[in-house]
Amino acid sequence: MSELTVTLLRYGFLALLWVFIVAIVMSQGRDLAVDRRRRNKGGGSGAAAPQAPQQAAAAPQPPRQLPQSLVVLQGPTSGRTYQLGAAPVLMGRSPESTVPLEDDYASGRHARLFPQGSRWFLEDLGSTNGTYVNEQRLTRAVALEVGQPFRVGKSVMELRS
Amino acid sequence: MTTPAAAPTAPTAGSSASSAPVQRRRRLTELLLLVVAWTIGIGANILVDPEQASSEPAHVYRSAAVLIGGSLLLHLVLWFRARYADPYILPIVVTLNGLGIAMIHRIDLLMDSSAGTNQVLWTAIGITAAALVLLFLRDHRRLRQFTYISLVVSALLLVLPLLPGLGTEINGARIWISIGARTFQPGEIAKITLAIFFAGYLSTNRDVILLAGPKVGPVRLPRFRDLAPMFAAWLVSIGVLVFQRDLGTAILFFGLFVAMIYLATGRLSWIVLGLLFVAAGGVVASQTFGHVAARLDAWWHAFDPAIYDAPVGGSRQIVQGIFGMASGGLFGQGLGQGRPDLVSYSNSDMIITAFGEELGLIGLSAILLMFFLLISRGFRAALGTPDGFGKLLAGGLASIMVIQLFVVIGGVTRVIPLTGLTTPFMSAGGSSLLSNWIVAALLLAISHSARRPVVTGPASAEDIAEFEAHEREEQERAELHETERAERAERRRQRQQAAEARKATAESKSSEAQS
């Protein structure tokens, strides 16, 4: 091989490495922008669902105080009330959970409520049947408003201040 | 617990509870990138010695067959089993593996050894293992059931090299087992099982660890009993590694431990505590273990002639590696043009300096960026997957790679003392290659569940049917379990009755004999 080919191959190989990297970076651009659409909408952090526009309009400012209690509206344990502190709450059939659900449609460790600032966030823990807010299955943690019902298995619950 | 397979329907527009953008499958992107990866990997194998490649092409054909065939196999498996898996992980891994094979082969040509053939063989084994993982692990959450089994398996794997007869000591570290003529490092597999254990344990207990326990100043300490299994795991790994005298792996396990606690709790105090532990451990180790003190000297006074010329534990290896990288400069000597064989272990621990010498700063930073992209894809999978276990597992596996790269590249560039660890996917070494391919497969499986669209809105009749079938299955399993238990109880009762009867007859006999 001539000197020229060797040099060309040498630099060509380095260039190819970088072409590979640039190709990956360019094509993953959209994938890395996790949630641009939502962020642009501004403040639509899950509570302002289409079915509850009045609620969202009535309470544009989140209440200062963390909601204090969790009420089970429907389901096998309906009527029960749980006092919430500032600790995360685990909901599920497993005995270790803070809010045990005697519900065949709930998973052992179904969902989790955790406080953040002055709001409670609801997060599904990879349950079999999902956690629903406004008939929408959760794919990520969302903020819950007071009086907004959510469904875990067959149980429907809501937060009260 | 398995999720009813989600039908790929787009989420309703405007739903804010679930408006994560629908990911495209991008399997074609993967295929295109794979073509580039093959060009790089096989091109490197030819470029290291074009004349040899044309006169004796066996090695090039072998590695091309394994790289192309293996990645096509994995690509097909992904098509059928994990259609939404991350499209970048596989091409990056294939590229790194191909580059590693090329460099090992290149050093073989100089040293007259056969590590390259071995590496190609282990690549094939690794790819097969990855394909099997993807085929049989339909849902990564199933691994969670093996939380405590993984702890036991990790402990066993770590103890194996200490057993007389099975364990083999190489270069003062007792981390190999020999089966026949081959050696294997069980610790490489243990890092995966430990990550599974940490992920399973922490995803269950993180709230307890976070909230219960006494508060000392601004730091809330977890209760001891919540952390006891974690510390057991930690003690097992550290204790065994003190006996095996392998500093690199000890740092890797401890780093994994700290990283996963941090990932689970989000408390910076764990990192601070961990660094304090490492500092304290380092001081103790350098006072007690001669080889650790020698490593520290070789790092700190690397250019001191007395230490450079020391027959054992000198700094010759590090300094030669640095000279190699210096001679590489910006563009490198060109593949096949340098002298990486001057550095000892240039095809395993020091492979990064060999690349620095032959590809220069530009090529080495390209390699580092590929690792960076690979790790960022791992963390991306962790961010995307909905379940806590998967998040922690993907984060932990990516952290393993980060720590490993930091320890080995920091070591060869004299940022930290050199401790022997492998560069993932590149260094010669079958066990490391196998375990890294399994890690890649797990990341692919988790990224599939991260990018897969979920059904939203009210459940369809189909979903309900599927769910009921699942319930029935569970019920049948429970009934089966119940009948088995009843049978066992029945058998036990019969045994007891028989034993009592026997005892009674024996007693009556003895009383007869007495009378």
Query: How far is A139 from chain B, CA to nearest CA, in Å?
Result: 5
Provide the pLDDT for residue A44: 40
Instruction: Answer whether A1 sits within 8 Å of B50, measured CB to CB.
Output: yes
Tell whether the model's pLDDT for residue B26 goes beyond 90.
no
Q: Which of B3, B91, B363 sits opposite A14 (nearest CB)?
A: B363
Give the confidence band of B180 by pLDDT, cuts at 50, 70, 90.
Answer: confident
Cα–Cα dist B236/B154, whole Å: 9
Segment 161-190 of chain B within 8 Å of chain A by CB = none
Range name among B94-108, B236-250, B480-494 with the lowest pLDDT average: B236-250
Tell whether the model's pLDDT for residue B304 goes beyond 50.
yes
Query: How far is A128 from chain B, CA to nearest CA, in Å?
Result: 5
ipTM value for the complex: 0.80
Provide the pLDDT for residue B129: 96
Whether the CB of B475 is below 8 Å from some CB of chain A: the reply is no
Q: Report yes or no on B82 lying in a domain.
A: no
Mean pLDDT to the nearest integer, B36-50: 92
Give the confidence band of B403 by pLDDT, cuts at 50, 70, 90.
Answer: very high
Q: Which of B40, B91, B467 sits opposite A129 (nearest CB)?
A: B467
Tell whether the model's pLDDT for residue A39 goes beyond 60.
no
Within a 13 Å sphere around the CA of B297, how many CA atoms are in the beta-carbon half? 19
Q: Report yes or no on B470 lying in a domain.
A: yes
Give the confidence band of B88 by pLDDT, cuts at 50, 70, 90.
Answer: very high
CA angle B435, B441, B445 (to 5 degrees): 145
Q: Report yes or no on B484 lying in a domain.
A: yes
Give the confidence band of B9 by pLDDT, cuts at 50, 70, 90.
Answer: very low
Cα–Cα dist B357/B41, whole Å: 18
Which pTM does this prediction carry? Answer: 0.74
Mean pLDDT to the nearest integer, B440-466: 74
B374 → chain A, closest CA residue: A24
Q: Which residues are CB-neighbours of B409 under 8 A, at least 6 positions away?
A: B352, B368, B415, B423
Tell whether the model's pLDDT for residue B105 goes beyond 80.
yes
Tokens of B168: 């083999």
The better pLDDT of the pair B303, B369 is held by B369
Give the confidence band of B237 by pLDDT, cuts at 50, 70, 90.
Answer: low
pLDDT digits (tens, 9 = 90+) for B244-293: 777 888 888 888 988 998 898 887 877 887 888 788 878 887 888 777 88
A140 → chain B, closest CA residue: B386
Q: Which residues are CB-neighbours of B93 under 8 A, at least 6 positions away?
A: B374, B425, B436, B437, B440
Provide the pLDDT for residue A110: 87
Provide the pLDDT for residue B102: 94
- Domain of B478 in residue numbering reads as 462-490
Own/partner long-range contacts of B105-110 (Cβ < 8 Å, ≥24 apart): B105/B45, B105/B48, B105/B59, B105/B63, B106/B48, B106/B49, B106/B335, B106/B336, B106/B340, B106/B354, B106/B358, B107/B340, B107/B341, B107/B346, B107/B347, B107/B354, B108/B347, B109/B48, B109/B49, B109/B52, B110/B339, B110/B340, B110/B341
Cα–Cα dist B331/B357, whole Å: 9
Mean pLDDT to the nearest integer, B387-394: 91
Provide the pLDDT for residue A43: 42
Tell whether the model's pLDDT for residue B133 goes beyond 60.
yes
Provide the pLDDT for residue B402: 95
Q: Where are the domains of chain A?
A: 1-29, 69-160
Provide the pLDDT for residue B514: 63
Tell whether the model's pLDDT for residue A61 goes beyond 70.
no
Segment 50-89 of chain B within 8 Å of chain A by CB = 50, 87-88
pLDDT digits (tens, 9 = 90+) for A128-139: 888 888 888 888
On chain A, the residues whose CB falls within 8 A of the CB of B201 are: none
SS (H, E, C) B258-280: HHHHHHHHCCHHHHHHHHHHHHH
Total Cβ atoms within 10 A of residue B226: 18
Rounded mean pLDDT of chain B?
84
Mean pLDDT to the nearest integer, B386-401: 92
On chain B, the residues whose CB falls within 8 A of the CB of A9 are: 47
Cα–Cα dist B420/B418, whole Å: 7
The better pLDDT of the pair B3, B57 is held by B57
Instruction: Answer whether B366 sits within 8 Å of A14, measured CB to CB.
Output: yes
Cα–Cα dist A59/A43, whole Å: 12
Task: Look at phi and psi of residue B212 and say left if phi exceeds 0, alpha if psi is from -120 to 50, else beta.
Answer: beta
Considering the domain delimited by A69-160, tell me its CATH architecture.
Sandwich (2.60)
Q: Report yes or no on B402 lying in a domain.
A: no
Instruction: Answer whether A13 sits within 8 Å of B335, measured CB to CB.
Output: yes
Instruction: Answer whether A126 sits within 8 Å of B366, measured CB to CB.
Output: no
Cβ-count burial B164-190 (b if 16+ within 10 Å, e if not) = eeebeeeeebbbbbeeeeebbbbbbbb
Tell whether the model's pLDDT for residue B101 goes beyond 80.
yes
Provide the pLDDT for residue B161: 85
Residues shown for chain A: 161
Q: Report yes or no on B471 lying in a domain.
A: yes
Strand (E) or helix (H) holding A82: strand A81-83
Mean pLDDT to the nearest integer, A21-42: 67
Cα–Cα dist B169/A115, whole Å: 53
Rounded mean pLDDT of chain A?
76
Cα–Cα dist B259/B267, whole Å: 11
The better pLDDT of the pair B199, A65 is held by B199
Q: Which of B4, B373, B454 sits opposite A21 (nearest CB)?
A: B373
Evaluate whether B158 touches B240 at the Cβ level (below 8 Å).
yes
Give the number of domains in chain B.
1
Cα–Cα dist B207/A91, whole Å: 13
Phi, psi angle pair for B25, to nearest 5°? -75, -45
Residues shown for chain B: 515
Evaluate whether A91 touches A101 at the Cβ level (below 8 Å).
yes
Own/partner long-range contacts of A21-27 (Cβ < 8 Å, ≥24 apart): A21/B366, A21/B369, A21/B370, A21/B373, A23/B33, A23/B36, A24/B33, A24/B88, A24/B91, A24/B92, A24/B373, A25/B373, A27/B26, A27/B29, A27/B33, A27/B87, A27/B88
Provide the pLDDT for residue B461: 62
Closest CA to B90 of B140, B30, B41, B178: B30
Provide the pLDDT for residue B472: 78
First to last CA, chain B: 65
Tell whether the model's pLDDT for residue B325 goes beyond 80.
yes
Whether the CB of B207 is below 8 Å from some CB of chain A: the reply is yes
Range name among A105-109, B20-24, B187-191 with the lowest pLDDT average: B20-24
Q: Which residues are CB-neighbours of B8 under 8 A, at least 6 positions away?
A: B452, B453
Secondary structure letter of residue B216 according to DSSP: E
Within a 13 Å sphere around the CA of B178, how many CA atoms are in the beta-carbon half? 10
pLDDT digits (tens, 9 = 90+) for B198-210: 999 988 887 777 7
Segment 84-143 of chain A within 8 Å of chain B by CB = 87-88, 90, 96, 104, 107-109, 112, 124-126, 128-130, 133-140, 142
Provide the pLDDT for residue B187: 86
Total Cβ atoms within 10 A of residue B283: 11
Task: Look at phi and psi of residue B156 and say left if phi exceeds 0, alpha if psi is from -120 to 50, else beta.
Answer: alpha
SS3 A119: strand
Best residue in B15, B45, B47 for a mutation probing chain A (most A CBs within 10 Å): B15
Provide the pLDDT for residue B193: 94
Best residue in A20, A90, A91 for a mutation probing chain B (most B CBs within 10 Å): A20
The better pLDDT of the pair B454, B276 is held by B276
Strand (E) or helix (H) holding A123: strand A119-124
